[in-house]
Amino acid sequence: MVEQQQNKNEELYNVEELRQYLLEGNIESFRESFLELHPYDQAQFYEKVGPDIRKTIYQFLSPQEMALIFEAIELEDEEYEQFLKEMDTVYGAEMLSYMYTDDAVDVLNELDDEHRESYLEIMDSETVEEINELLAYEEYTAGAIMTKEYVSILENSTVRSAMTVLRNEAPNAETIYYVFVVDENHCLTGVISLRDLIISDEDTLIKDIMNERVVYVKVSDDQEDIAQIMKDYNFLAIPVVNESNKLIGIITVDDIIDVIDEEASDDYSKLAGVTDIDDIEASPFKAATKRLPWLIMLLFLGMITATLMGQFEETLDKVALLALFIPLISGTSGNSGTQALAVAVRGIATGEIDEKSKMKMLLREVLTGLITGIVCGLIVVGIIFVWKHTLVVGLLVGAAISCSILVATIAGSFIPLLIHKLGVDPAVASGPFITTLNDVTSILIYLGLATTFLGQLS
C-alpha cells in the first residue's frame, strides 16, 4: 500500500526528466520543475540519485533551498556525514545555518567532533551559540529536541502589538498556531492561539484573553514522556521551560513524530533481541555485530536448558515417547510468554499501565494464562490419546502445557513491570530472553512431572 502510494507520488513528476535536466546542465528547466515539488518529493529524488548527480544539484540549488530538502530527508545516521562530505564545506555550513536549529543539531549530532567543528567555525556567532546550547543538553531530553524558533509576546501587550510581533517573527518561526505569553522576566505565564488573536479586539490586553493553564515540560524531561503528553493533549507544540520557569524553546509535533518512530524502532529492536534494527543496505558483518551479543548471551542461557534435560536422562531413557513433546511444550509456553510480554511492554510505553492498574493487569494475565492453559491442555490430551492411544502420556503433556502456559504468562507480564520499577527500559526483557526463560521452566515442569509419575508411565 505504501509502495503503491509512493509510486503514485512519483508519477506527479518525471524522475528521468529531472535527471536528464541535471545531466544536460539545464539549470532553468530543472529549477522550474524541481522547486514546484513538495519538499518530501524533492528529498526522495535527492536521496535516490547518485553522488555525481547530487553534486550538480548543489550547483543548481542555493544553500537555503537545500536546507528545506535536508529538513525533509530521512537518512540513516551514518548517511548524513556521507552526504555532507559531497558538498563544499562552506556550502554545507550555510545550508545548516538556514535549517531550523533543532534539525541542524540533529544532523550535527551524527558527525564526528572534527567534522562538526569545521562547520561551526564557518557559521555566524549567533547561530553557533544557539546550536551549542542545544548540543549541550543530554540526548533524548526536551532540551535536545526543542527548537529556538518560536514566537513569544509580553502579557501586558495589546492584541495589535502582538500581531505586529507575529508578522515580524512568523517567517522564521517553526509554528505560529500557538503564541506563548511571557512576563518581563521571560517566565511563561500563558498561551494564546492564533485564532483567538485574530478574532479579538485590537486594544484588548493579552493577559485578559490568554489561557493561564499552560501545559509545559521541563528542559530535562525525557522525550518519551513528552511524546505521551502531546499525544494525550493533541498538541501541535508544547513549551519548554528551565528550572526558573523561563521559556527557552518549544517542541513541535513533527519532532514528536520522529521521537515516536525512534522509540518504537528501539523497543522493537529490544523485543527482537538486537541492539538496533538492521538497515537492509548494511553489510553482513555489520548486521552480524548487531545480532551476535544477544545470540551469544541466549546461547549460554540455552545451555541451562540442556543441563536441565541431562538431569532427567533416566526418565527419558525409560519413556522415550516423552522427548517427542519437548519442542511442543517449550514452544507453546514461549509463545504465551511473548504475548504477555508484548501486552505489558505496550501498556507501560503508552502509559495505560500505572501504579494503580499494575495489580489489575497481573490478575487479568493470571486468569488469562489459566484459561488458555486449560484449553490448550485439554486439546493436547485429546490429540495424544487419538494419535498414540495413551491417556496417561496425554494427561502428563496436557498438565505440563497448562502449567507452563500459566507460568510463562505470569513471567511475561511480571518481568517487564519489575524491570520498569528498577528504572530500566522494560523492552530489554525481550522476546528471546522470555522465550529462553520459559524453555527452562517448561522443561523443568514437564520432566519434573514425568519423573514424579514415572511408575504410571512405565
Instruction: Convert the pLDDT of each residue in 104-144 to its tens digit.
Output: 998 998 888 888 999 999 999 989 998 999 999 998 899 99
Place 275 in a pLDDT band, splitting at 50, 70 and 90: low
Q: pLDDT tens-digit profile of 209-231?
A: 999 999 999 999 999 889 989 98
Asked if residue 158 has pLDDT above 90, the reply is yes
Q: Is position 143 within any domain? A: no
298 & 228 share domain: no
Asked if residue 406 and residue 297 are part of one domain, the reply reads: yes
Q: Is 74 part of a structural domain of the chain? A: yes
Tell me, what's the pLDDT at 258? 82
Q: Do 205 and 131 sit in the same domain of this protein?
A: no
Last residue of a domain, one of 138, 168, 203: 138
Same domain, 186 and 220: yes
Percent of the chain with pLDDT over 90: 46
The helix-helix angle for 27-34 and 51-60 (nearest 10°) equals 90
Does any domain span residue 66? yes
Check residue 458 and give its pLDDT. 56
**In a domain? residue 268:** no
Residue 301 located in a structural domain: yes
Does one domain contain both 326 and 429?
A: yes
Nearest 5°: CA angle at 350, between 346 and 355? 95
DSSP state of 138: P
Question: pLDDT above 70 covers what percent of the chain?
Answer: 86
Total domain count, the chain: 3
In terms of phi and psi (left: phi > 0; alpha: psi -120 to 50; beta: otherwise), the region of 5 is alpha
176 and 306: one domain?
Answer: no
Do 368 and 440 sit in the same domain of this protein? yes
- Which of the given ranges, 104-108, 290-294, 451-455, has the highest pLDDT on average? 104-108
Whole-number pLDDT of residue 373: 93
Question: Same domain, yes or no, for 118 and 255?
Answer: no
Q: For the domain that residue 58 is a member of, what is the CATH number? A: 1.25.60.10
Q: Higher model confidence: residue 124 or residue 274?
A: 124
Q: pTM for the complete prediction?
A: 0.65
User: For 312-333, what is each residue's pLDDT tens digit?
Assistant: 777 777 677 888 888 888 888 8
Rounded to 10 deg, the angle between the 391-421 and 326-350 helix axes is 30
Q: Render pLDDT for 385-437 as a digit per residue (tens, 0 to 9).
A: 999 888 988 999 999 999 999 999 998 888 888 888 887 777 665 556 677 77
Domain limits for position 236: 152-260
Domain with residue 247: its CATH number is 3.10.580.10
